[in-house]
Chain A
Amino acid sequence: DAGVIQSPRHEVTEMGQEVTLRCKPISGHDYLFWYRQTMMRGLELLIYFNNNVPIDDSGMPEDRFSAKMPNASFSTLKIQPSEPRDSAVYFCASSFEGVYGYTFGSGTRLTVV
């Protein structure tokens, strides 16, 4: 397996633009997580899915953020409109049954100017 695949690796966008981050989890994993990492706040859980259903989105900063998982092999995190304070590295991770350790993707480094 190629692991968790995220795209793009880097994204630079202007304030106010829509940004879509993509994730392909490991086949057979039934949990998918979106995390955000910054120097100030560390690694924060934004939302997680179980069997494609959002379970906990309490970490989503505000309504500008939305996440979907239309099927077991694909998820998106969308920011609309983007702001400079959204600049961070966004990680997607997947897990089997949520208890056997997470496999993280390489992350998307988002810069909003």
Chain B
Amino acid sequence: SQKIEQNSEALNIQEGKTATLTCNYTNYSPAYLQWYRQDPGRGPVFLLLIRENEKEKRKERLKVTFDTTLKQSLFHITASQPADSATYLCALSESTNAGKSTFGDGTTLTVKP
């Protein structure tokens, strides 16, 4: 069956360090993968999208990699700040139904000052 797994439910790091979040998937032929941020009581906010033929995408302090051989995406936040504390969700869309995105359960990141 299809499955999307995000590394751990919670990740705690010190301010200034790089946070690395993992999204693994099985039994998907992904067209593209998205990362979202969700704060308590709010809807997810889109951060980055990477296509299956792209290896890496960057936006300011954010970097996403996509390895379709390993079936894994890594999401990095460099020089992390307490304001980066939130839940981060990955979402996969398949080539056969690109409009349908399936979300992982998310990883809650806490950045301590």
Contact = CB atoms under 8 A, between A and B. Distances in A.
Interface of A: 4, 31, 33, 35, 42-45, 48, 50, 55-56, 91, 93, 98-107
Contact of A56 (B43, B46, B99): B99
Nearest to B49: A101
A55 B99 contact: yes
Given A42-B106, A43-B89, A99-B49, A107 B100 contact: no
A45 B98 contact: no
Interface residues of B, number: 22
B105 A42 contact: yes
Chain B CB within 10 Å, residue with most, of A45, A48, A101: A101
A43 B46 CA distance: 14
Nearest to B6: A42
Contacts of A106: 42-43
Contacts of A93: 43
Nearest to B4: A42
Chain A CB within 10 Å, residue with most, of B36, B89, B101, B104: B101
A98 B98 contact: yes
16 contacts: A4-B43, A42-B103, A42-B106, A43-B103, A44-B103, A45-B102, A48-B100, A50-B99, A55-B99, A56-B99, A93-B43, A102-B34, A102-B101, A103-B46, A105-B43, A107-B42
A96 to B, nearest CB: 12
Nearest to A6: B43
Nearest to A107: B43
Interface string B30-47: 011010100000111110
B97 interface: yes
Interface string B85-97: 0000100010001
A91 B102 contact: no
Nearest to B100: A56
